[in-house]
Structure 1
Amino acid sequence: MRNPISTIAIPGDIVHVDRDKYGNILVIDDRKHRILSFDSVFEQSKIVRATPNLPVHEYNRAMLLPIAFHEPQHVTVLGLGGGVLAHGLHKLLPRSDIQVFELREKVAEIARKWFALPSSDRLHITIQDARLAVDNLPEASTDMILTDLYSADRMSPAQAQRQFIKACSRALTSKGWLALNYHKMPEANGNLVRELRRQFPLLLVFRSKTNNWVIYGSKQGFSNVTIESSRCAELEKRLPIGWAKLRKKLEVLEL
């Protein structure tokens, strides 16, 4: 999603500019952070330069919450950006494979060069339209799908399409999780939420400080969605993003 900083520009110095057929790609530094932007007004990704594996934005951190319920062996990330989610997953899950689909090759190049995205046999980046990639994923081939598809100024319409939700559900294993980052909460009785309910017996929701909404679908139903304090403490040692604080904002999306 994109975190609006001002109506003029993101504060900081532009340290790198690139361009492809989709538009500009900017790298911006302030004293502490490095930011990826496609238009100099909205942040696509943001890292602390001293700790590039830690997601800065709360909604990015929240997208990792399903790991508290089920430790995946394989994770699929749709949309790379600066590699914030991919890098965090690589650190958090040292025995898991991470597959990323990114539309723009130059974005992937910049993530590696400017955002310290690691080179690893466990981290695979494929340059492909995420909508096509999901359709082509083998059935029950991944344990978790994290989708964060945005252009310079809007969310990809694919994330709100029923066919996209169906394709994600089909690709997930029997204990799989889907996490979607939306710029606003979908209509409770709209087609998108109805499709999510058809595909997933349990839906959870997280509202971030920037009014992003992360919706989670679990292929398994749970009678108790409480995350134990001991589990939060364990995950905090691996990736210190404030798991205990995040879990307090997690709610069941009532049917």
Structure 2
Amino acid sequence: MTFSASLDKALYLTLENGCKSLRFDGNSIQSAMDLDDPYLLALGYSQTMMGFLLFVPDPKQVLIVGLGGGSLPKYCYRYLPESKITTLEINEEVIALRHEFFIPDDNERFSIIQTDAVDYITHGRAEADVIMLDAYDNEGLPAVLATESYYDHCRMALSEKGVLVINLWGTDPKLNIYIERLKRVFNGRVWYCRAFNSYNVIVFASNDEHFKMNWIKFLFLASKLEARHDLDLQGIVRRLRAGLQYSLS
């Protein structure tokens, strides 16, 4: 069964082969949900973003910029039961689709705030152990969400050992510029890799001034965490160690 509906000039909702997707311009997939398992992370980039668990296994506060179909907020809400999940989304049309994607109602642990994320974070209203930047529109990554100043404000919003996670398009001609900005802001504590089954590049930046990468310890931690999460965290460690050497696989 295939179904497609235009919601506005920039958003399309599609249903195909048991998967409901939110798309830009009727083509690019922004988010996807398996109807048989709505909390499953159906896309490789979202699975790879959960690699933040290697840096902060048990965050108390998770801040997500960009709602989409809510895959990451839903996953964190279900599988990190001690965490408070806050999502910032500027587009009210996207928020209006929350029940299409079985996104929970707001409660004491889960909330969606309609706001400009730049304003919210730069004015000091954000505090988190993990910040996930996954905000795209039909024209791509908004430039204001990739400035050195914005990255610095994200760093200031993080806890002492917090981590910033960013989803970037691997074909973006400014990819290396963004990574260099992050390295300056986080004093070089930046690691990145290809996402699973995608050209997306996922970047992790640690705010822990005393953090030192130990790949053996990361693999051991990944193995332990896989008992709690249906994620290939060991695969993420291997990808991070290889950097951008992976092809689309």
Partner of 2:181, secondary structure, is helix
In the alignment, residue 167 of structure 1 is paired with which amino acid?
H
Which residue of 1 is the match for residue 83 of structure 2?
96
- Any residues of structure 2 matched to 1:1-255 within 5 Å, and which? 12-14=2-4, 16-19=5-8, 23-70=9-56, 71-110=58-97, 112-119=98-105, 120-138=107-125, 141-184=127-170, 186=174, 188=176, 190=177, 192-201=178-187, 202-208=189-195, 209-220=197-208, 221-226=211-216, 228=218, 231-251=221-241
- Contact 1:91 / 1:238 at 8 angstroms: preserved in 2? no
Provide the C-alpha distance between the structure 2 equivalents of 1:41 and 1:153, rounded to a whole number of angstroms.
Answer: 12
Provide the C-alpha distance between the structure 2 equivalents of 1:164 and 1:251, rounded to a whole number of angstroms.
Answer: 27
* Unaligned 5+ runs, structure 1: 1-10
Deviations 1:42-95 (A, max 9, x none): 111011111111111111111111112212100110000000110111122101
Query: Residue 18 of structure 1: CA displacement?
Result: 2.5
Deviations 1:196-246 (A, max 9, x none): 123224111011232111111001221414455553344334331322223
Partner of 2:12, secondary structure, is strand
- Contact 1:42 / 1:153 at 8 angstroms: preserved in 2? no
Which residue of 2 is the match for residue 4 of structure 1?
none
Provide the C-alpha distance between the structure 1 equivalents of 2:213 and 2:131, rounded to a whole number of angstroms.
Answer: 23
Partner of 1:168, secondary structure, is helix
Query: Residue 131 of structure 1: CA displacement?
Result: 1.6
In the alignment, residue 89 of structure 1 is paired with which amino acid?
C
Structure 1 moving runs of 4+ over 6 Å: none
- Contact 1:88 / 1:239 at 8 angstroms: preserved in 2? no
Provide the C-alpha distance between the structure 2 equivalents of 1:109 and 1:237, rounded to a whole number of angstroms.
Answer: 35
Greater mean deviation of Cα atoms: 142-151 or 238-247: 238-247
In the alignment, residue 18 of structure 1 is paired with which amino acid?
L
- Contact 1:203 / 1:252 at 8 angstroms: preserved in 2? no
Query: Residue 127 of structure 1: CA displacement?
Result: 0.3
* Unaligned 5+ runs, structure 2: 245-249
In the alignment, residue 39 of structure 1 is paired with which amino acid?
D
- Contact 1:24 / 1:39 at 8 angstroms: preserved in 2? yes
RMSD: 2.3
Query: Residue 247 of structure 1: CA displacement?
Result: 2.4
In the alignment, residue 29 of structure 1 is paired with which amino acid?
L
Aligned positions, number: 236
Greater mean deviation of Cα atoms: 240-249 or 165-174: 240-249
In the alignment, residue 239 of structure 1 is paired with which amino acid?
H
Which residue of 2 is the match for residue 5 of structure 1?
none
Which residue of 2 is the match for residue 8 of structure 1?
none
Provide the C-alpha distance between the structure 2 equivalents of 1:187 and 1:39, rounded to a whole number of angstroms.
Answer: 23
